[in-house]
Structure 1
């Protein structure tokens, strides 16, 4: 019986020690999962803003400046907390229009070197009026 009691006394506090070691690791894993989910969300925000800007810039009477303005309006409407310091570039030629939205993902953890970027790109043909060619029925 005394050997049994000695074994019990030797394990005293083991659960507390394990909890102190495991709980922070589990919290870090959970926060990293939330950080990467936030990066995924910020990428969707950037893609949405790029698509809206493309629709404005590639229209027949649209301009690259109109596309950039539409992207900024879309980003403002969605909120700028997930995607911080966004930059918008729009290029419009007679054949093709391309819009890129890039930004930094909001940081939850102050881990050095963990700076996530999110970007979205939309590209499509520039709208223009054409006349039909060939024989008319």
Structure 2
């Protein structure tokens, strides 16, 4: 047996072993990229729903229930597959209104649960006099 044939026999199966080790790692990296892109997208959905809920709840005749309903409608319109079972919390006082939307993001990587949230806050609209007091 010559030296070159011995070298060839010693390298047999090396490509298969590298393939078995590298391909799962590459697939995991690809899945992680997709997972974090979905989290980024879900954060934008949650923020949009919170802003829409704030717009409905902060008006003079608005209520916390109006804001919650508008946020839920916005979530439904954008698709409920990315942000799973989102919670909508609306706090409305005489001076400030806050809407929080939060929920888990759909899983692509098994065992990895990530959450996305959006918050919008602003002054509650009310009629005041020129001096700043209530009419």
Same fold (TM over 0.5): yes
Q: Which residue is 2:4 aligned to? A: 4
Give the aligned length: 132
Alignment of 1:12-27 (within 5 A): 12-27=12-27
Q: Which residue is 1:38 aligned to? A: 38
Q: Which residue is 1:67 aligned to? A: 67
Q: Which residue is 1:122 aligned to? A: 120
In the TM superposition, residue 83 of structure 1 has moved relative to its aligned partner by 0.1
Q: Secondary structure at the match of 1:97?
A: strand
The worse-fitting range, judged by mean Cα deviation, of 64-73 and 102-111 is: 102-111
Segments of structure 2 that go 5 or more residues without pairing to the other structure are: none
TM-score (norm 2): 0.94
Q: Distance in 2 between matches of 1:109 and 1:96?
A: 39
Segments of structure 1 that go 5 or more residues without pairing to the other structure are: none
Report whether the alignment pairs 1:131 with 2:129. yes
Q: Distance in 2 between matches of 1:95 and 1:26?
A: 52
Q: Distance in 1 between matches of 2:84 and 2:4?
A: 61
Q: Distance in 2 between matches of 1:75 and 1:133?
A: 40
Q: What RMSD in Å do the two structures reach over aligned CA positions?
A: 1.3
Q: Distance in 2 between matches of 1:67 and 1:42?
A: 19
Q: Which residue is 1:107 aligned to? A: 107
In the TM superposition, residue 4 of structure 1 has moved relative to its aligned partner by 1.4
Q: Secondary structure at the match of 2:84?
A: strand
Per-residue Cα deviation, 1:39-87 (whole angstroms, up to 9, x for no partner): 1111110000000000000011111000000000000000000000011
Q: Which residue is 1:88 aligned to? A: 88
